[in-house]
Amino acid sequence: MGLAAFIIVTTGTDGIDANNWSASGLFVAIVTVLLSVYIYAKFLEKGFTIKMPDSVPPAIGNSFASVVPYAACMGVCWFIRTLLNIDVVAVLMGLLTPLVAGADNIFVATGSTFLAQLLWAVGLHGDNMFLVNFTPFGLMWIEENAAALADGTSIYELPHILGGLGAGGGLQRMMIWTAAAWPPIFLMLTSKVKYHKTLGIACLPPAIFTVVEPVVFGLPLALNPYLMIPFILSATVSMAVGYGLTMVHVFGRFFAALPWATPPFLLGPLGTGDIKTALLPVIAFVIGLVIYLPFWRVYEKKCLEEEAENEAEAA
C-alpha cells in the first residue's frame, strides 16, 4: 500500500520521474507510507470496511476488508497529485533544502556521534535507534557529491563532508569504531588478564569489518563504569578531527555509498577516490588509544585483582 501510494503521488502527466526514486524521494516515501498506514488504521478502527460473513475464510475476508481503506488512501494520493497538480517531491524538497544543506556541520557530526555512542554505552543499539534517522540526509548528500564530481568538482571540494551519514558507509563509520572499538581490542590482546586475551582474539576478526557487538557487549564496554567515558569520548573526538581534516581539504569527501561492513581502511579510498583516506582509521585508532589508556590501566588492575581472588578461591 505504501509503495502504491508513493507511485501515485510521484507520477505526473509525463509518467514516472526516475529522479523521484533517488535519494530526493526518500522524505516523500516516508511521508506517504506513514499517511497510508494512518488511513488504513483509522478505517479499521472505525469499522469502515467491507465485512464478510463468518463462514468466509479469514484470508478472503481480510482481502475484502482492505478494499475500502486502500481505495481511500489511493484516492487521497490521486487527488493531491492529479487534481491539485501538486509535485509533492518538489514542494517538500523546497521546504527541506535549507535544513538539509545546513545540517552538514561539525556540530551535527560530533553531536550525532556522541548521542549514538551514549546509547551504545547504556546497552542500546545507537546506530539502529538514532543514526538511522540521518539516512535520508546522508544519501542525499552522497547523491549531490556524486553529481558535483560528475560536473568536474574536485573530490576535496565536494559540497558535503557527511555524505553517507546514517547509511553506514561514510566518514562517521570510518572514524567512530576505529577509535572506540579497535583500541580496547588491542589492549585486550596485550593484557595480562587471561580472559581479555582470549576475548580479544575472538573480537578481532569481526572488528576489522566494524562488527563491534562482541567487544561492546562481551568485554563489555556497555554499562562499564571504567570504560564508558573513553568509549563515548574517543568516538566523538575522532569524529571531530576527521571532520576538521576533511573540511580543510586534507582528505577527499565521500561520493559513493558502500556497505557498512566495508573495512575502514578500504572504505575511505573506495568511497572518496582518495588513497590518503586510508590514514584516517590510523589517526582515529591513535586518538582512541591515547584516550583509553589511563582508564584501561585502572580497569585492568581491578580485573587482575579479581582474577587473583578467583584463582585463590579455586585453590
Tens-digit pLDDT profile for residues 212-262? 999 999 999 999 999 999 999 999 999 999 999 999 999 999 999 898 899
- Among the listed ranges 126-135, 177-186, 204-213, which one has the minimum average pLDDT value? 126-135
Residue 145 has pLDDT above 70, yes or no: yes
What percent of the chain is predicted at pLDDT more than 70?
97
Query: Could you give the residue ranges of the DSSP H alpha helices within 15-87?
Result: 26-46, 58-65, 67-78
Q: In the prediction, which pLDDT does 41 show? A: 87
Q: What is the mean pLDDT of residues 42-61?
A: 79
Q: How far apart are the first and last CA of the chain?
A: 66
Three-state DSSP at 252 gives: coil
Tens-digit pLDDT profile for residues 154-195? 999 999 999 888 877 889 999 999 999 999 999 999 998 888
Distance CA 91, CA 83 (A): 16
Bond from prior residue into 206 cis (ω within 30 degrees of 0): no
Q: Flag whether the pTM goes above 0.85.
A: no
Q: In the prediction, which pLDDT does 265 show? A: 92
Residue 33 has pLDDT above 80, yes or no: yes
Residue with more model confidence, 49 or 267? 267
